[in-house]
Amino acid sequence: MNNPTTLVDKIWDSHVIVDVGQNTYFLHIDRNFQHELAGATSLNGIDKAGRKIRNAELAFAVMDHVLDTHPGRGDETPIPGGTGFIREFRQRTRHHGIRLFDIYDPWQGISHVIAPELGIALPGCTYVCGDSHTCTIGGIGALAWGIGSTDVEHVFATQTLIQTKPKNMQVIFNGKYKTSHILLYTR
């Protein structure tokens, strides 16, 4: 009988570049999607260190954290320093050739929502973003997690990330499924 393998194991194993021991690995990262906070900080670090973006075609950017939500919004924001993040991120993504979903882009939205909608995050891929909600992208069958600005910088420069492999957990549901009322919302 074959040894069963989880989806996480399959995705993980297909992205291992090097096993460095003690359950720690260098993984290839398929998609690096950043917003104007962690992304601006990381691109600033890349530029100060004189590094280049390893694969700009695998990096994506969106304005989604310090924007106002009112109609007619622009670069100006009441969040302290927000306007600077917006303008710096726009300039640095342009400089590095990273696809930016800017304020007036029709595809602009929340990073962890538009990534699967636009086919950036795909089943079977590794996906990182400087957003704590990134793990919700696992719902489409991707291995996705949020990372900090130092790791973002590393992924920009190398398209890899060193990670400890997470443990698997089996969940068993016993009993009968009970249906409930489902509300459908339409526009």
pLDDT in tens, 79-117: 888 899 899 999 999 999 999 999 999 999 999 999 999
Q: Give the helix, strand, coil percentages of the chain, each rounded to 5.
A: 35, 20, 45
Beta carbons within 10 angstroms of residue 40's beta carbon: 25
Query: Looking at the predicted structure, is the pLDDT value of residue 135 above 80?
Result: yes
Tell me: the pLDDT tens digits for 43-90? Answer: 999 999 999 999 999 999 999 988 877 778 888 888 888 899 899 999
pTM of the model: 0.88
Percent of the chain with pLDDT over 90: 70
Domains and CATH numbers, the chain: 7-67+77-164 (3.30.499.10)
Q: What is the DSSP letter of 38?
A: H
Q: Please give the C-alpha separations between residue 141 and each of 11, 22, 48, 81, 83, in angstroms, as whole numbers.
A: 9, 26, 36, 36, 35
Q: What is the pLDDT of residue 91?
A: 96
